[in-house]
Chain A
């Protein structure tokens, strides 16, 4: 197809506009990175924009030597790994029978699940219930509330439904039980959906803020997001530390470094996230 001049201008203009928008989308990240590498003098003079001024690693040296931040980081890593593994197990176990028509409670249980999507229990009785279960100031609260979500269950159920019944029947004749079929046949051939759902869970647990905010009060149990919030909100002694003479950082550059510290792991796995999240985004219905 030959393009007319008008069409080319139209496309060129839109492309140009999008490039600007894409650039603007990155500006908040660039400016925080710039701050984290800038000197105290530059920070005090308010002259840092998109590029570090008076380049220094002092803020980073301080942040990376913060034991509390590393502890929070490892708490988050551990809860994400254990939580995702547990979540995939519970979700797959539940999704498999729900994909079978000969499971008699199939539709009743789906209704039981859908009700929880429609009517959300108020936060306060939720808080009191979990507290009553001993989850207050308990690191398990970073994991247990996230090991099952109705959406992810629905995605996996839809996927399992497409699995040919003949393969399972053949396995059954060979003497496989239902657990073996799930473990040896269904799971190995569902890697794509398991990765997608696993990443959904992992990002939820990694980024979670509301649960730790409500349930974790001991600073030594803080996960990463809560720790970052504490650092950037002046809830820690960061302001006093930065107020000391002869240092080359400020409250601003320290909190910028903390924010970048928390962004790095996400950027590191970003290509992966982008690919699998896009697959999952098409599958958000409980029907069928």
Chain B
């Protein structure tokens, strides 16, 4: 009897949020059941691997497992900073990231400003259809197309030969890797990138153009002084988000464009980790490399998402 009273007293003493949670579960139990598969998904495919990153602080051995492997502290992180390979992949990643933000990012903006000037709607639609297609192809396919064009007997060399130049195996040339990375990105994604900008342009008040036209502003001037300035918030938001994902160059793209001859300029974090970590089973060291990358990525994403939110109300991802 006394025990029962004590239990009752305990229940009363429970913090309010906890009792209301129990209440909430009792009342809305189907909700809890519904989110369960999704929560398990995130736990298994995202959170467990995150916790598994502790192997960066071990000399992980598959046979000993995560609980019995020797702890080595920051050994791999120290090794990483002095490792020449690491400096190479770090600078390759930075250079390609820079290409992405400086050379690739502006193209969809320019394309959408141009597309906006096409008066014939059928023609506009046809152009959009043509430039959107590559976005839906996989990087394996795009890689295949690029190797085909730049290979012996490909269009690139046929044109070179036509102008009396020698056949050049561009895919195997270090100096050509970055230009090909940029061009392939533009070919695949720039067309599709116009969708968001064109939507923003279609939201611009038409009376602005009309009054500008009455004042005698030319098409170019209207583009320069109306369309572009009104597009700037969208551009800036997307720009900040793109810097936030600076290090995400796309494993599939780089991997499908890379040849052993271009490792020195094209090997980036993702491809290096795949080759050395997964193929050569250097698990702990490459996890340290991955953690390094994820941590910088985290700082970049959070910082630039915050900036994007500050800049426009609905800008950031979250």
Contacts and interface: CB of A to CB of B under 8 A. Distances in A.
28 contacts: A6-B219, A15-B118, A19-B123, A21-B111, A26-B130, A32-B148, A98-B35, A116-B46, A119-B297, A121-B50, A122-B49, A123-B274, A123-B277, A124-B55, A124-B287, A124-B290, A126-B45, A127-B278, A207-B136, A228-B140, A228-B141, A232-B147, A259-B148, A266-B136, A274-B129, A281-B196, A281-B199, A287-B318
A209 B157 CA distance: 29
Contact of B302 (A118, A213, A226): A118
Contact of B138 (A31, A177, A209, A267): A209
B41 interface: yes
Interface stretch (A100-108, A189-197, A239-247): A100-108
Nearest to B147: A232
B28 A178 contact: yes
A145 interface: yes
A164 interface: no
Nearest to B50: A121
Secondary structure of the B contact surface, majority rule: helix
Interface size class of chain A, counting residues whose CB lies under 8 Å from the partner chain = 35 or more
A103 B28 contact: yes
Secondary structure of the A contact surface, majority rule: helix
B114 A18 contact: yes
A105 B34 CA distance: 12
A227 to B, nearest CB: 9
A185 interface: no
A7 B20 CA distance: 67
A113 B42 contact: yes
Given A116-B42, A178-B30, A203-B136, A259 B37 contact: no
Contacts of B132: 274
B21 interface: yes
Interface of B: 20-21, 24-25, 28, 30-32, 34-35, 37-39, 41-42, 44-53, 55-56, 111, 114-115, 117-120, 123, 126-127, 129-134, 136-141, 143-149, 151-155, 157-158, 161, 187, 191-192, 195-196, 199, 210, 213, 218-220, 251-252, 255-256, 270, 273-274, 277-278, 283, 286-287, 289-291, 293-294, 297-298, 301-302, 314, 316-318
Contacts of B115: 18
A167 interface: no
A120 B297 contact: yes
Which of B44, B144, B213, B219 has most chain A Cβ within 10 Å?
A: B144
Nearest to B145: A28
A209 B274 contact: no
Contacts of A270: 133, 136
Interface of A: 1, 3-4, 6-7, 10-11, 14-15, 17-19, 21-23, 25-29, 31-32, 35, 43, 46-50, 90-91, 93-94, 96-98, 100, 102-105, 109, 112-114, 116-130, 133, 144-145, 147-148, 153, 177-179, 182, 203, 206-210, 213-214, 225-226, 228-229, 232, 252, 255-256, 258-259, 262-263, 266-267, 270, 273-274, 277-278, 281-282, 284-287
Which of B24, B155, B218 has most chain A Cβ within 10 Å?
A: B155
